[in-house]
Chain A
Amino acid sequence: MRHGRWRFLLGALVPALVLHVVFVLSPYAQAFYLSLTDWTGVAGAAHYVGAGNYARLGGDTLFLDAVRNNAVMLLVVPAVTIGLGLFLASALHRGGRGSRGGSAYQIVYFFPQLLSLVVIAVLWGFVYNPNTGLLNSGLRAIGLGGLAHSWLAEPRFALVAVMAVLIWSSVGFYVVLFRAAIDAIPLELFEAAKLDGAGDWSSFRHVIFPLLRENVRVAFVYLGIAALDGFAVVQVMTVGPGGPDGATEVIGLSLYRNAFTYGRFGYASAMGVALFFATLTLALLALRSGREERHAL
Chain B
Amino acid sequence: MRSERRSNPLPPIAMFCWAVVTALPLLWAVVSSVKSDDEILNHPWAPPATPRFDNWVRAWTAANIGRYFLNSLIVVGGALLLTMLLGALVAYALARYEFRGNRTLYYTFVAAMFFPVFLALVPLFFVVDQLGLLGTYPGLILVYTAYAVPFTVFFLHAFFRTLPAEIAEAAFLDGCSHAAVFFRVMLPLARPGLVAVGIFNFLGLWNQYLIPLVLNPDPDRYVLAQGLAALSVSQGYRSDWGGLFAGLTIAMLPVLVAYVAFQRHIRAGMTAGAVK
Contacts and interface: CB of A to CB of B under 8 A. Distances in A.
A16 B106 CA distance: 12
B23 interface: yes
Interface stretch (B49-57, B89-97, B162-170, B188-196): B89-97
B158 interface: no
B25 A115 contact: no
Nearest to B224: A116
Contacts of B74: none
- By DSSP majority rule, is chain B's interface helix, strand, loop, or mixed? helix
Interface in B226-247: 226, 228-229, 232-233, 241, 244-245
Interface string B9-36: 0011011001101111110110010000
Interface centre among B26, B122, B252 (most CB of A within 10 A): B122
Interface in A92-121: 92, 94-95, 105-119, 121
B44 interface: yes
A95 B11 contact: yes
B123 A26 contact: yes
A259 interface: yes
A27 B122 CA distance: 8
Contacts of B97: 5, 9
Contact of B255 (A5, A114, A222, A236): A114
A230 to B, nearest CB: 11
Interface of B: 8, 11-12, 14-15, 18-19, 21-26, 28-29, 32, 40-41, 44-45, 86-87, 89-90, 92-94, 97, 99, 105, 108-109, 112, 114-116, 118-128, 142-143, 145-147, 149-150, 153, 177-179, 182, 203, 206-207, 209-210, 213-214, 224-226, 228-229, 232-233, 241, 244-245, 248, 251-252, 255-256, 259, 263, 266-267, 270-271, 274-275
19 contacts: A4-B177, A9-B178, A12-B92, A15-B89, A16-B153, A23-B124, A24-B150, A27-B122, A28-B115, A111-B256, A116-B209, A118-B229, A121-B229, A138-B45, A176-B271, A228-B116, A256-B121, A260-B125, A276-B116
Interface size class of A (residues with CB under 8 A): 35 or more
Contact of B112 (A4, A25, A105): A25
A242 interface: no
Contacts of B108: 20, 25
A30 interface: yes
Contacts of A113: 270
Interface stretch (A49-57, A151-159, A265-273, A289-297): A265-273
A16 B149 contact: yes
Nearest to B112: A24
A-B pairs, 6 with minimum CB distance? A91-B11, A8-B178, A116-B207, A23-B146, A30-B123, A27-B120
B228 A119 contact: yes
Contact of A222 (B128, B244, B267, B274): B274
Contacts of A90: 11
A122 B228 contact: yes
Contacts of B24: 134
Given A114-B266, A231-B210, A275 B119 contact: yes
A65 interface: no
Interface centre among A34, A108, A171, A180 (most CB of B within 10 A): A108
A88 interface: yes
A76 interface: no
Contact of B26 (A30, A91, A123): A123
Nearest to B114: A283
B119 A109 contact: no
A122 B11 contact: no
Contacts of A228: 116
Given A117-B207, A272-B116, A124 B25 contact: yes
A45 interface: no
Given A118-B209, A272-B116, A259 B121 contact: yes
A115 B12 CA distance: 26
B179 to A, nearest CB: 6
Contacts of A168: 21-22
Contact of B89 (A12, A23, A27, A275): A12
A180 B23 contact: no
Given A8-B179, A13-B93, A91-B11, A107 B270 contact: no
Nearest to B130: A43
A134 to B, nearest CB: 5
B118 A122 contact: no
A124 B248 CA distance: 11
A87 B13 CA distance: 12
A200 B116 contact: no
A127 interface: yes
